[in-house]
Amino acid sequence: MRVPPPYRPGGDRPRFFRRGRLGVRTLLLLRVLAVVVLVGIALGGHWIDREGLRDNTDGHVSFLDVVYFTVITVTTVGYGDIIPVTDSARLFDTFVVTPIRIFVFLIFLGSAYSFMLRQGWERWRMGLIQGRLKGHTVICGYGATGEAAVTELLARGHAPDCIVVVDQAAHRLREVEALGVATVEGDATHNAVLQSAGIRHAAAAIVVTGRDDTAVLVMLTIRRLAPDVRVSCSIAAVENEPMARDAGADVIVNPISFGGQLLAGSTVGPHLADYVADLVTRGGRADLHERVVTAAEVGRAPEDLTTGQVLRLYRGERCVTLDQPEARRLEAGDVVIEVVGRKEPSPAFAGEGQAAKPPG
């Protein structure tokens, strides 16, 4: 599958639609209201100039006749039983009713496309994408955190069709579909919804539902369907972290406590928050990598690696700090976390009017 070039914040940033976008029902109601207003204008004009109309049936033009003539004239061209006979009535039909007829037709055509053709096309397109999903990332929830996760995945070079967003809000899914990302509308706590997202063949899942209880239930559902998929979740309350761990979360991120710790640390060192932002985002001046040591690196010391500066070493399920004697020699299967500096930092991190700092 083709992987697009890395997403660059700033100039190449994809355009998101506003989160306050109108829903389907509201949009449909506004279009119906527009049709009623247009027909009302035509009705009012015909009623005011009813003396310019002639009823070929009984010779009397009543209010019901005006309503009938207006609706028939707006939707078609009329049947000839009621006709305009004065110049003013004919000019009104020519320069007012005819444009109204065109606008009403365009509203009906646009509604048919929006609510039938386009949605049918999107369902067919998404069905094709979901049918060939494998090794993708499933994001459960598209709030502010889910949107940030999608943006960062695209920044790290993930193909849009290797990301599936699951959410119950249709207007949120329309936003992410504009980026080419596959979507599934529904409740992620239901088996059928996650199966539609291809959770069994996914490489990772990110749970950002906005509620801790919902997040735990989603993870339990994921673990039932795909026991081996790697699951990361966002938990707001510290006391709920053990439940999230028991539900099967491999990685738990608490944005509230993490943000508080970062803010507290910034009072000691003003550059701490800036450096952490560089590490955790693709557009910074330094990248944080996690990888397995290669065969050529086995037996060497962490400081001898030339790919980057090693910060931490994992041996099996255990974290080995670099000051421990057993960390002096790398073994097969060890996982290292290292920092790699970027030569050309992203303009978004250099700031307006601020010079970019050197890497590292």
Task: Determine the pLDDT at residue 167.
Answer: 94
> How do beta strands 163-167 and 230-234 pair?
unpaired
Radius of gyration of the chain (CA): 31
pLDDT tens-place string over residues 333-347: 999 988 887 655 444
Nearest Cα to Cα of residue 305 among 327, 278, 320: 327
Lowest average pLDDT, out of 51-60, 127-136, 228-237, 329-338, goes to 127-136
CA triplet 16, 17, 22: central angle to 5 degrees?
Answer: 160
> DSSP labels for 165-213?
EEES-HHHHHHHHTTT-EEEES-TTSHHHHHHTTGGG-SEEEE--S-HH
pLDDT at position 36 is 92
Please tell me the predicted confidence (pLDDT) of residue 282: 66
Mean pLDDT within 67-93 = 87
Per-residue confidence (pLDDT) for residue 16, from 0 to 100 = 32
pLDDT tens readout for residues 11-48 = 333 333 333 345 567 878 888 899 999 999 999 999 99
Query: Across the chain, what does the average pLDDT equal?
Result: 81
Query: What is the residue type of 305?
Result: L
- pTM beyond 0.75: the answer is no
